[in-house]
Amino acid sequence: MAHVGTLGSHRFSQGVDDIRGATVYGAEDEKIGKLDDVIFDHATMEIRYLVVDSGGWLEAGKFLIPIDQVYCRREA
């Protein structure tokens, strides 16, 4: 079983962008929430899941998206 971790309250040094707080969009380009955290594998340092905060429109409020279901979109 993989040993996993999160960014939690980690603070990055100056000049390093923190992706937490980024807007997350669904497959049909609808806003589904903000990136709250990531879950990564300690052995490989690969991100496995995004933790998305839906802002309360889902009953749970936060949910996981497997990284293989994610793609990047550039803001114009």
Domain count along the chain: 1
pTM of the predicted structure, to 2 decimals: 0.70
Domain containing 40: what range? 22-66
Q: Is residue 33 part of a domain?
A: yes
Q: Taking the alpha carbons of 29, 57, 53, 21 in that order, is the dihedral positive or negative?
A: positive
Mean pLDDT in residue range 62-73 = 82
Predicted confidence band of residue 32 (pLDDT cuts 50, 70, 90):
confident
User: What CATH number corresponds to the domain at position 50?
Assistant: 2.30.30.240
* Stretch (H or E) spanning 50: strand 47-53
Q: Is residue 6 part of a domain?
A: no
Q: What is the pLDDT of residue 6?
A: 64
Q: Is residue 54 part of a domain?
A: yes
Distance separating alpha carbons of residues 73 and 2, to the nearest angstrom: 29
Direct distance between the N- and C-terminal alpha carbons of the chain, in angstroms, rounded to an integer: 41
* Residue tagged 């490989």 (tokens): 44
Q: Is residue 16 part of a domain?
A: no
Which range is least confidently modeled, 26-35, 48-57, 67-76?
67-76
More confident residue, 40 or 7: 40
Q: What is the pLDDT of residue 11?
A: 65
